[in-house]
């Protein structure tokens, strides 16, 4: 399931991120890739331990925690601290699958995080670069994603995906992974559909008995399926 999460960052937060990243200490992006992925990866990346990466990552995490659509779609248990990349001058990332486990080195010796979901938060506007679309392949076909700055796409980490070459301009984005409370993708999708329906019904029938029952069904399913 792909989920477009709009307006993760406010205009002020987005402007702040873009300004900080202009003169950031970009380095070779292959440092975070596995052996096979490194062969297909050609981009720049902000070092994880840089001041900019840490501070902007915290800003993004705060924004995610406030965003109901992100929470409903991801049901996050752990979020890997956001990383930042830049594609320009023909840079691309060929077809690959993300590593199943990432280690958050900021948590002691490194806390393992199972990558159930991958996320790309676009920080450049679509008309600021040519190429650079995120191509995601899943059971429903091939999807081309190029979102406005400040918007995010969530997709299963098990999906084959790639970033097309950026032939003009620069494509800057944040990317990270989520270990969900709900490991099974089909169950996450059902819970999201139920949550969206409950929110819609609540607007018109907040105290209706059926809305309360559906809310109970949602939480009982979450209780039965979640991994804590």
| CATH code at position 46 | 2.60.120.620
173, 194: one domain: no
Q: Please give the share of the chain, as a percent, with pLDDT higher than 90.
A: 83
Which amino acids are annotated as binding site for 2-oxoglutarate, given as ranges? 171
Which amino acids are annotated as binding site for Fe cation, given as ranges? 96, 98, 161
How many independent structural domains does the chain possess? Answer: 2
The DSSP H or E segment spanning 56 is helix 51-65
Strands, E assignment, the chain: 3-5, 27-28, 41-42, 44-45, 76-79, 83-88, 92-96, 101-104, 111-114, 117-122, 129-131, 134-138, 141-145, 152-156, 160-163, 166-180
83, 57: one domain: yes
29, 71: one domain: yes
Helix axes 11-22, 51-65, angle to 10 degrees: 170
- Domain CATH for 196: 4.10.860
Higher pLDDT, 115 or 1: 115
H helix intervals, 89-207: 185-204
* Domain coverage including residue 42: 3-180
22 phi/psi in degrees, rounded to 5:
-60, -45
At residue 207, the pLDDT reads 81
203, 120: one domain: no
Mean pLDDT of the chain: 93
| Tokens representing residue 130 in the block | 């040519």
175, 215: one domain: no
156, 196: one domain: no
155, 217: one domain: no
| Tokens representing residue 191 in the block | 């819970």
Cα separation, 217 vs 50, whole angstroms: 45
| Tokens representing residue 113 in the block | 């995080």
> CA 198, 201, 207, 213 torsion: positive or negative?
negative
83, 176: one domain: yes
Which amino acids are annotated as binding site, given as ranges? 96, 98, 161, 171
Helix axes 185-204, 209-225, angle to 10 degrees: 160
62: CB partners within 8 A, 6+ apart: none
Q: What is the pTM of this model?
A: 0.93
158, 221: one domain: no
171, 193: one domain: no
The string of pLDDT tens digits covering residues 32-85 is: 555 556 668 899 999 999 999 999 999 999 999 999 999 999 999 999 999 999
At residue 164, the pLDDT reads 98
| Tokens representing residue 90 in the block | 């023909």
């Amino acid at each position: 399931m792909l989920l477009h999460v709009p307006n993760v960052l406010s205009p002020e937060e987005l402007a702040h991120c873009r300004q900080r990243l202009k003169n950031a200490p970009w380095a070779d992006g292959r440092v975070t890739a596995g052996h096979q992925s490194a062969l297909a990866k050609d981009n720049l990346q902000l070092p994880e331990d840089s001041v900019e990466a840490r501070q902007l990552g915290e800003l993004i995490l705060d924004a995610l925690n406030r965003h109901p659509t992100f929470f409903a779609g991801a049901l996050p248990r752990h979020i890997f601290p956001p990383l930042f990349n830049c594609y320009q001058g023909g840079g691309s990332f060929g077809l690959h699958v993300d590593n199943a486990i990432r280690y958050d080195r900021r948590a002691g010796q490194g806390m393992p995080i199972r990558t159930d979901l991958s996320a790309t938060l676009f920080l450049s506007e679509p008309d600021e670069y040519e190429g650079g679309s995120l191509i995601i392949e899943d059971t429903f076909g091939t999807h081309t994603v190029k979102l406005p700055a400040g918007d995010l796409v969530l997709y299963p980490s098990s999906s084959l995906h790639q970033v097309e070459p950026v032939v003009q301009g620069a494509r800057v984005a944040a990317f990270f992974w989520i270990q969900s409370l709900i490991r099974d993708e089909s169950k996450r999708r059902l819970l999201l559909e139920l949550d969206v329906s409950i929110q819609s019904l609540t607007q018109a029938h907040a105290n209706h008995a059926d809305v309360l029952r559906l809310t109970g069904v949602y939480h009982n399913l979450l209780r039965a399926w979640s991994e804590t």
